[in-house]
Structure formats: C-alpha cells, structure tokens
Amino acid sequence: MWTRILFIWWIGAATFLAAQESARDFQKEIDYQNEQIRRLKQEIEEARSRIEQESRKEQSTAKNITALDEEISLLDRLISQLDQEERRTRQQIRSIEQSLGENQNKLAALRERYARRAVKAYKKGRLSSLEAILSSTTWRQAVYRTHYLKLISDIERDLKRQMESLIVDIGKQKLDLEVVLRKNMALKKDRARQQKTLQNKRIAKQRELARIRSNKTELAKYIQEKEAGLKELEALMKKIVEDKERAEREERIRRQQALLRSKKFSQLKGHLEWPAEGRIITKFGRQWNPELKTATESPGIDIKGQPGSPIKATMNGVVTAITYIRGYGTTIIIDHGGGYYTVYSHVTNIQTNEDSEVKAGDVIAYMGNSGSINGAMLHFEVWGNSQKLDPVQWLKRR
C-alpha cells in the first residue's frame, strides 16, 4: 500500500513538472513567433516608406515592379508566420484541454479516496489511528505505524495541493492561449485585407509586365535589376559562409545526418530529389537572349511548373536565410553542411522558418511568381565551397 501511495505522489509531481516545462517551451516558441512577426511588420513599413519616397521620383517600370513585389513578398511571409502561429496555438490548446481533463480526473480520484477515509474514520471512531498505534505488539511496530500514518497524511496533502495548483496553472495557460489565438486571427484577417489590396495592385503590375516584355529598353532595365539581385545573392552567400554560427550549424547537421542515417551532400551528386515538378526553361551558365542579343549568366536553373505546387528541400539541412532578392523574389537558402547550400527563389506561402531543421522531401514553400516576369516558376541553385554548381548534375535523371 505504501509503495502505491508513493508511486501516485511521484506521478503527480512528475506531471506537475512536465506541465511547467511544456509551458516554458511553448512560451519560448510564442516569443520567437512574435519576434518574427514584429520584424516582418517593421520590414513592411520600411518597404512602404521606401516605395513612397521612390514613387515621387521618375523611375523605370522594372523598379516599380521590384518595389511592389518586395512588399507583396513580405506580406506573404507575414501571413505564413501568422498561419504557423495559429496552428501551433490551436494544437497547444488541444493538448492543454486533454491534460486538464486528465488532472481533473486525478483530483476527483483523490477526493474520492479522502471521502472513503473519512467514512472509514467515522465508522471506526476518531481514535482509529491511535488504536492502530496502541494495538502494536512491539515498540518498533508502534514507531513504524506512527511514521507511516504521518507519511500518508503528508503525501496526500501535498498531492492534493500540487494537483490543485496544476489545474489552476493549466486553466490560466488555456485562457492565455485563447487570447493569443484571437489576436492572431485578428492579425491574419487584417493582413489578408492588405494582401487583397496588394493583389489589386498586382493586376496593374501585370499590365506593366506586358510593357516590359514588349519594350526592349524596359526589358534591359529588368535584366539589370536581376543582375543587381545576383550580386545581392552572392554577397548574402559570402556572409552566410563567413557567419560565426556556421560551426554550430555544421554540428547540428552532423547530428541530423547521424539520426536519419543519411549520406553527406557531397556523396549525393546525381541522386538528389527534384525540388519541384515541371520542366527546365533556363539552364545553368551563360544564356543567350535573342531579343536583346546579349548573353547573361544564370547561376542556377529555372523550373516552370503549376502555380501553388509544392517546393521541397532536396536534402536534410538547416534553413539559413529567408529573404527577398531583386529579380529573384522570395528566396530560401538551406545549409547542408560541408560547405554545400541550396537556393530556392520565386517561392510563396513559406512553410518553414530561419534556423529550422528540414529533412529531404519536406515542403518548405509553394511555387509562385515573386520577382518573376515569366509567371510561376522555381529558380534553383546549388552552391559548393562558395562556387555555383550546375544543379542538373546533382539531381536525379528523369
């Protein structure tokens, strides 16, 4: 009997500590999401301010489109963050409700045991505990009985106090989460309205795109924007490679590879899964533009596919950057360890976060036209030891 009581007390204490740890972990996640949302809002305001200042100047259609594209990209990322936070909050509420029900049942069982003890004490009289001690046949037995009766009383009193405290804490946490959920839903609704406004602007943008395609001068200016974006990407990659946190990412990736029993990126040449369904419309390397009669450098491949189709990580790794780059739109960069990185551009509806670990085949975003004048596509790059590599040589033949 004593063993059973001690076990129940231990279970109660463990549940209490687990609930506290879960609450701390969730609060850390909420704080992270709130910080991401705050940063995105700040970026949106800065982009809008810059667009407003630039709109007072006479500028090319290509620059106008780039500015609007950047704002749409930021809003799309913000709404994706709100979606993630809302899903996480709903999941946590369900978990807390389940935990709350379980602990209420435990408390009910404890109260029932108290009631049975009270009835038993009433039937036997208030001296039953004293009688138990006095009926001992030896002095040692009397000492043991006194000790265990006190222990039972202390354990049950502590257990009841812990269970009641746990239920109060979880109840408060549930209320807090419901408040956060309502706030997130309101933010999501507000941002959705803003995105709808931007989508109306995007209709006007389509007319501007038509002008670009039919005007060699404007097309040349757009290509200049893309070349400037390529320099931005190169500078970003250099910063990532030199980042002081790279060593920590390398260790995380090594642990991830060991856990998943996967090969290193360098061993998978010709065996990587394709990041998206579709056909290649731009190859790697120097490309001839027949309209402008000029050659441009393509740092990766362009895969033309269905708008909204999934974009998948080709290999395990850590998401190192999610950003907007001129001419390439919303861009995700994944570190695969050993100096290898993959780049995914023109994406929308992002499903991951910076510093998150991803596995091969995980959906990280969806195909969009952010930064593109040729509709929905994926621009995909492979980098190894600070060099741009031909992605086709790394992907499976099909």
Q: What is the pLDDT of residue 167?
A: 73
Which tokens go with 166? 């746990």
pLDDT mean over 320-349:
93
Residue in 305, 304, 313, 308 with CA at minimum distance from that of residue 275? 313
Residue in 8, 37, 188 with CA at minimum distance from that of residue 106? 8
Q: Which residues contact 308 (CB under 8 A, 6 or more apart)?
A: 348, 349, 366, 367, 368, 376
Best-predicted range by mean pLDDT among 6-15, 45-54, 196-205, 369-378?
369-378
Q: What is the pLDDT of residue 220?
A: 73
Q: What is the pLDDT of residue 303?
A: 96
Please determine, for residue 395, whether its predicted confidence score (pLDDT) is greater than 70: yes
User: Is the distance from CB of 275 to CB of 378 less than 8 angstroms?
Assistant: yes
Q: What is the pLDDT of residue 204?
A: 67
pLDDT mean over 257-270:
91
Three-state DSSP state, 333: strand
Q: What is the pLDDT of residue 57?
A: 55
Longest dimension (CA), the chain: 110
pLDDT mean over 215-223:
72
Alpha carbon dihedral 254, 256, 258, 264, in 10-degree steps, equals -60
Cα separation, 83 vs 340, whole angstroms: 30
pLDDT mean over 61-84:
81
Alpha carbon dihedral 347, 394, 225, 202, in 10-degree steps, equals -20
Which residue did the predictor score with more confidence, 390 or 286?
A: 390
Which residue did the predictor score with more confidence, 350 or 27?
A: 350
The dotted CATH code for 216-398 is 2.70.70.10
DSSP class of residue 395 equals B
User: Is the distance from CB of 307 to CB of 367 less than 8 angstroms?
Assistant: yes
Query: In this structure, how many other beta carbons lie within 10 angstroms of the beta carbon of residue 325?
Result: 25
Alpha carbon dihedral 313, 318, 323, 328, in 10-degree steps, equals -40
Residue tagged 């007319």 (tokens): 207
Q: What is the pLDDT of residue 127?
A: 45
Chain length of the chain: 398
Global pTM reads 0.71
Q: What is the pLDDT of residues 342-354, one digit of tens each?
A: 999 999 999 999 9
User: Is the distance from CB of 315 to CB of 360 less than 8 angstroms?
Assistant: yes
Please determine, for residue 125, whether its predicted confidence score (pLDDT) is greater than 70: no
Q: What is the pLDDT of residue 6?
A: 45
Q: What is the pLDDT of residues 181-209, one digit of tens each?
A: 787 777 778 777 777 876 777 676 777 77
Q: Which residues contact 99 (CB under 8 A, 6 or more apart)?
A: 19, 170
CATH 2.70.70.10 occupies which residues in the chain? 216-398
pLDDT mean over 143-151:
57
- Is the CA virtual torsion 227, 231, 234, 240 positive or negative? negative
Q: What is the pLDDT of residue 152?
A: 60
User: Is the distance from CB of 234 to CB of 355 less than 8 angstroms?
Assistant: no
pLDDT mean over 149-166:
66
Residues β-bridged to residue 347: 367
